[in-house]
Chains A and B, each alone.
Chain A
Amino acid sequence: MDGNRRYADRSKIDRRSGHVSGYASLMKTLEACLNLGVEVITVYAFSIDNFKRSPEEVSALMDLVEEKLIALAKETELINKYGICVKLVGNTSLLPEAVQRAGKHAEAVTGHHSRSRLNLALAYTSRDEIRHAVECVRDDFVAGSRPSSEVNQDPHAQSSGRPFQAAIEEHLYTSGCPPVDLLVRTSGEARLSNFLLWQSSSACLAFCQALWPEFSFRHLVWAVLEYQRAKPWL
């Protein structure tokens, strides 16, 4: 969801308004995806790296995130129509208490749904996610809830069970979600920026020039066509 600030500069509005436009784009895109039958959508809202920005900008963004999480939880019609379960994915303990509370509330009011899933990556990086998963797996061994033989099993074993890999996948924040089919990045940057490295191994990567607030249905259709072009046998 790249390009909110550039959009603000270009439109001669303040940066907060740029991010607000970004949220509007998110809601439009979310509904369009769900309409197309996409069941899992993961968006990169705030990276751990973004904490490097100025304290003023981070604070303003956190306030906005809190506001939008509260607003999202009230989108009852959309949530019920598509049975959306909202999940915050990331090292959420790094977020301000108020944002964590708003996030938990959004998760609580949507937790009973299971037809589709919206993962909001907040205080997230893929490497931090993997590191965290390894820590959790190690904790499982210590607690005895995993046989210690798994840590010694040959990681290159060709048998269908690769317990350690499965253990890591169970502890990723996106556990339970299928691998990523299509990854779209806006604003012309062609980088992953530490997003879903593990999960995107076979994903079709589509880099779109439009800034995020400008991302519309036609851009989404373009991305889906890119995906179909890459998988002509479907």
Chain B
Amino acid sequence: MDGNSRWAKTKGLPTAFGHEKGVDSLLNLVKMCVRWGVVALTVYAFSTENWLRPKGEVDMLMGLFERVLQQNLAALERENICLRVVGEIHRLPPSLQRAVAEAHERTAGNTALLFTIGVSYSGRQDLVQACQALARKVSEGGLDPSEITEASISAQLGMATENSGWRGEPVGDPDLLLRTSGEQRLSNFLLWQLAYTELFFMDTLWPDFGEADFVKALEHYSRRERRFGGRR
């Protein structure tokens, strides 16, 4: 969801306007996913690196997240969407932590779309904590060393769906990753889960992202041939 600040700059507006418009793009994307039958959507709202931004912008973003959660929770419930926030929740302001907990509780068990928002999230940190948790279980005797496998690492990630409120069809690793604003990097998003994901980069700035861009991404994906290392 890259490009909010750049979008605001091109319009001669403060950054906050870019983020507000970015929220509109996101809510629109959620609707499109439900309409097009996408089962899981994961977005990168705030990385651990973003804490380094100016305090004013960080505070504004935290306030924006809380407001957006509160204003849209009822609609998400109605649409049968399961919402979860993944990341270092303990670093968020207490009121936002409470809003997140409420959203988890009220949307648990929904089955139309698993909507995951990465907030204070780092793909690498998620992987480190998963590996550490497994190593600790082995040290404590609760897990046999042979049980440190790719599958057990996957299941231990914060992003894993096993311990979430999702009760819809099984969700595996992402099929498609989309990054806007022309940046061709992963920037510490997911990483482990992207082993076989199709990557699609577009120049559109996030606040300008609309149905045409969404369809373009789906069309690009439908043309890919996924071999997972084998042969046709």
Residues of chain A whose beta carbon lies under 8 Å from any beta carbon of chain B: 47-50, 52-54, 57, 125-128, 130-131, 133-135, 137-138, 141-142, 148, 151-153, 155-156, 162, 164-165, 168, 189-194, 197-198, 200-207, 226, 230
CB distance B131 to A192 under 8 Å?
no
How far in angstroms is the closest Cβ of chain A from B7?
Answer: 19
Q: For the complex, what is the distance from the CA of A142 to the CA of B91, rounded to whole Å?
A: 33
From known contacts A131-B153, A201-B187, infer whether A57 and B231 are also in contact, taking CB-CB under 8 Å.
Answer: yes
Contact of A138 among B124, B145, B183 (CB under 8 A): B145
Q: For the complex, what is the distance from the CA of A156 to the CA of B88, rounded to whole Å?
A: 8
Contact of A165 among B128, B149, B200 (CB under 8 A): B128
CB distance B135 to A52 under 8 Å?
no
B194 at the interface (CB under 8 A from A): yes
Contact of A191 among B148, B149, B198 (CB under 8 A): B198
A5 to B, closest residue via Cβ: B231
14 A-B pairs with C-beta separation under 8 A: A48-B229, A52-B228, A127-B150, A130-B192, A131-B149, A134-B134, A151-B132, A164-B128, A191-B226, A194-B229, A198-B127, A201-B124, A202-B187, A205-B186
Contact of A202 among B149, B153, B188 (CB under 8 A): B188
How far in angstroms is the closest Cβ of chain B from A137?
Answer: 6
B56 at the interface (CB under 8 A from A): no
B118 at the interface (CB under 8 A from A): no
From known contacts A54-B231, A138-B145, A201-B186, infer whether A155 and B195 are also in contact, taking CB-CB under 8 Å.
Answer: no
Q: For the complex, what is the distance from the CA of A212 to the CA of B219, rounded to whole Å?
A: 26
CB distance A168 to B131 under 8 Å?
yes
CB distance A131 to B128 under 8 Å?
no
How far in angstroms is the closest Cβ of chain B from A54?
Answer: 7
B164 at the interface (CB under 8 A from A): no
From known contacts A190-B199, A194-B229, A198-B127, infer whether A134 and B135 are also in contact, taking CB-CB under 8 Å.
Answer: yes
CB distance A194 to B196 under 8 Å?
yes
CB distance B134 to A165 under 8 Å?
no
CB distance A130 to B131 under 8 Å?
yes
B95 at the interface (CB under 8 A from A): no
**Chain A residues near B138 (CB-CB < 8 A):** 138
B172 at the interface (CB under 8 A from A): no
CB distance A201 to B197 under 8 Å?
no
B161 at the interface (CB under 8 A from A): no
CB distance B128 to A126 under 8 Å?
no
CB distance A191 to B196 under 8 Å?
yes
CB distance A151 to B139 under 8 Å?
yes
B145 to A, closest residue via Cβ: A138
Which residues, 63 to 121 on B, are CB-close (under 8 Å) to A?
88, 90-91
CB distance B199 to A155 under 8 Å?
no
Q: For the complex, what is the distance from the CA of A205 to the CA of B177, rounded to whole Å?
A: 13
How far in angstroms is the closest Cβ of chain B from A180?
Answer: 11
Which residues, 130 to 172 on B, are CB-close (under 8 Å) to A?
131-132, 134-136, 138-139, 145, 148-150, 153
CB distance A190 to B135 under 8 Å?
no
How far in angstroms is the closest Cβ of chain A from B159?
Answer: 14
Contact of A192 among B88, B194, B201 (CB under 8 A): B194
CB distance A205 to B199 under 8 Å?
yes
**Chain A residues near B91 (CB-CB < 8 A):** 156
A54 to B, closest residue via Cβ: B231
CB distance A203 to B148 under 8 Å?
no
How far in angstroms is the closest Cβ of chain A from B148?
Answer: 5
How far in angstroms is the closest Cβ of chain A from B50?
Answer: 14
CB distance B185 to A155 under 8 Å?
no
B28 at the interface (CB under 8 A from A): no
A201 to B, closest residue via Cβ: B188
How far in angstroms is the closest Cβ of chain B from A121?
Answer: 13
Q: Mark B189-213, 1 if CB is under 8 A from A, else 0.
A: 0011011111111000000000000
CB distance A191 to B197 under 8 Å?
yes
B220 to A, closest residue via Cβ: A190
Q: For the complex, what is the distance from the CA of A50 to the CA of B231, rounded to whole Å?
A: 8
CB distance A156 to B139 under 8 Å?
no
CB distance B184 to A193 under 8 Å?
no
B37 at the interface (CB under 8 A from A): no
How far in angstroms is the closest Cβ of chain B from A187?
Answer: 12
